[in-house]
């Protein structure tokens, strides 16, 4: 089954064509990130306008790269939330229009579920159930337990800022460009990782699977306010921020794995692209002698893309009420 995935929940306009949920035939991502660097963050109206400009060329390019035509597509998968409403509307309305013109069914995909399914792409073997996943993105930090496709239970999450947001806001305070996560990670690259304990690790000792990152941002603000940081100080502070956030994420992940004993643990979302987080999680799973199988998508599949949307649609096609939103409910999916 060949699915065209469309993802426009934020500042990326993405289209991908994926066969049977795992084989990527093409993936195209246009980003309006450069525009947002000048404003230090995303202005939703601007992001939506860029989505309108990019969506059709991006879909055309995805078809061309895969050497396919509309006739080869079995279904259209589209992110229907959560995200910026203006940006989401561009993707959803485009998918509905194509569905009507091409006579193909639509499969709506939750963006966060999409992030999880990036772990089903390009892997030697599929994650086994029960699956525990930590979704760490710009707007979300959540633990979910998945017993089977379509059966997802939320276990805990952030009480305030998301992990990606903590990276982005701290980066801004340190004078680094948007998006802050990759910028902080780059600054921290050459800093020695031992003895980094300047910033708090909120809720790390608590048994709950909740997070709270807003206090961390305040600590960074207090520390750097009215100071002109030297290059070295900026690097050091970046490493400190990264270590504090990743310490909490890793410690809570280990707690969650011990409590729920899943067969697979899936790290998902944009922050999963963080090298330090990836290496620390692998190390701690090993140190704790956990038998869980750890999955982390390759970095390009961690941040927003349409491959994950097409993959999630494939595996959840029977559990999602896709036919209810198809512009033509008579259309049926063929395998």
Stretch near ligand KG4 under the rule CB under 6 A, chosen from 45-53, 174-182, 247-255, 282-290: 174-182
Token pair listed for 49: 């306008």
For residue 73, the minimal CB distance to ligand KG4 (Å) is 25
15 binds ligand KG4 (CB under 6 A): no
Q: How far is CA 151 from CA 130, 144, 187, 253, 306, in A?
A: 10, 10, 40, 20, 22
Picked from ligand KG4, Zn ion, none, the partner binding residue 262 (CB below 5 to 8 A depending on kind) is none
CA separation for the pair 167, 155 (Å, rounded): 23
Q: Which is nearer to Zn ion, 110 or 170 (CB)?
A: 110
Stretch that binds ligand KG4, among 97-105, 188-196, 205-213, 265-273 (CB under 6 A): 265-273
Alpha helices in 230-320, H assignment, sequence order: 231-260, 275-287, 299-302, 307-315
- Does 269 engage in binding with ligand KG4 (CB under 6 A)? yes
Element (H, E) at 99: helix 85-102
- Find the part of the chain contacting ligand KG4 (CB under 6 A) among 31-39, 71-79, 177-185, 224-232: 177-185
Is residue 271 involved in binding ligand KG4 (CB under 6 A)?
Answer: yes
Binding mask 24-63 for ligand KG4 (x = CB under 6 A): ----------------------------------------
Length of the chain in residues, anyone? 335
Rule CB under 6 A: say whether 262 interacts with ligand KG4.
no
Single residue of 21, 127, 139, 202 touching ligand KG4 by CB under 6 A: 139
21 interacts with, out of Zn ion, ligand KG4, none, CB within 5 to 8 A per kind:
none
Position 304 contacts Zn ion (CB under 5 A): yes
Q: Of the ranges 45-53, 57-65, 117-125, 176-184, which one interacts with ligand KG4 (CB under 6 A)?
A: 176-184
| Among 316, 330, 319, residue whose Cα is nearest residue 5 | 316
Buried-state track 114-149, b at ≥16 Cβ within 10 A, e below 16: bbbbbbbbeeeeebeebbbbbbbbbbbbbbbbbeeb
Question: Cβ-count burial of 96 within 10 angstroms (0-12 exposed, 13-18 middle, 19+ buried)?
Answer: middle
Side-chain-facing half-sphere of 322: CA atoms under 13 Å: 28
Nearest-CA neighbor of 209 among 258, 242, 167?
258
Cβ proximity to ligand KG4, 27 vs 185, nearer residue:
185
> From the CB of 67, what's the least distance to Zn ion, in Å?
28
Q: Is 168 in the site for ligand KG4 (CB under 6 A)?
A: yes
Answer whether the bond into residue 130 is a cis peptide, omega within 30°. yes
CB of 136 to ligand KG4, least distance (A): 7
**Dihedral sign, Cα of residue 109, residue 112, residue 114, residue 116:** negative
105: contact with ligand KG4 by CB under 6 A: no
How many of the chain's residues bind ligand KG4 (CB under 6 A)? 19
The least distance separating ligand KG4 from the CB of residue 192, rounded to whole angstroms, comes to 19
Tokens of 61: 């390019």
Strand ordering across the sheet containing 151-157: 151-157, 141-148, 131-136, 264-268, 293-295
Two tokens, residue 50:
């860029």
Q: Which residues contact 60 (CB under 8 A, 6 or more apart)?
A: none
| Region near Zn ion per CB under 5 A, out of 86-94, 130-138, 223-231, 245-253 | 130-138
Q: In this chain, which of 8, 99, 119, 137 binds Zn ion, going by CB under 5 A? A: 137
Interface residue list for ligand KG4 (CB under 6 A) = 10, 137-139, 164, 167-168, 179-182, 185, 269-271, 273-274, 303-304
Interface residue list for Zn ion (CB under 5 A) = 137, 304
């Amino acid at each position: 089954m060949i699915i065209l995935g469309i993802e426009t929940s934020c500042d990326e306009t993405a289209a991908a064509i994926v066969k049977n949920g795992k084989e990527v035939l093409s993936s195209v991502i246009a980003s309006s990130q450069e525009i947002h660097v000048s404003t230090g963050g995303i202005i939703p109206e601007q992001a939506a306008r860029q989505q309108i400009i990019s969506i059709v060329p991006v879909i055309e390019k995805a078809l061309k790269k895969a050497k396919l035509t509309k006739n080869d597509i079995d279904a259209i998968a589209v992110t229907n939330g959560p995200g910026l409403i203006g940006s989401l509307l561009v993707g959803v309305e485009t998918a509905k229009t194509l569905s009507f013109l091409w006579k193909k069914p639509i499969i709506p995909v939750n963006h966060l579920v999409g992030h999880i399914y990036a772990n089903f792409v390009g892997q030697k073997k599929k994650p086994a159930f029960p699956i525990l996943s930590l979704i760490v993105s710009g707007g979300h930090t959540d633990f979910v337990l998945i017993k089977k496709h379509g059966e997802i239970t939320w276990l805990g999450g952030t009480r305030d800022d998301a992990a990606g947001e903590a990276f982005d806001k701290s980066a801004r305070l340190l004078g680094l460009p948007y998006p802050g996560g990759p910028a902080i990670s780059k600054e921290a690259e050459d800093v020695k990782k031992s003895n980094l304990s300047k910033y708090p690790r909120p809720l790390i000792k608590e048994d709950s699977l909740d997070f709270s990152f807003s206090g961390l941002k305040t600590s960074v603000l207090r520390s750097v306010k009215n100071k002109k940081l030297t290059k070295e100080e900026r690097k050091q502070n970046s490493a400190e921020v990264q270590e504090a956030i990743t310490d909490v994420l890793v410690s809570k992940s280990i707690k969650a794995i011990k409590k729920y004993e899943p067969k697979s643990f899936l790290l998902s979302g944009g922050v999963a692209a963080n090298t330090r987080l990836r290496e620390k999680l692998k190390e701690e799973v090993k140190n704790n002698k956990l038998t869980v199988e750890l999955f982390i998508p390759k970095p390009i599949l961690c941040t927003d893309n349409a491959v994950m949307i097409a993959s999630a649609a494939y595996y959840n096609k029977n559990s999602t009420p896709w036919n209810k939103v198809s512009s033509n409910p008579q259309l049926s999916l063929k395998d």
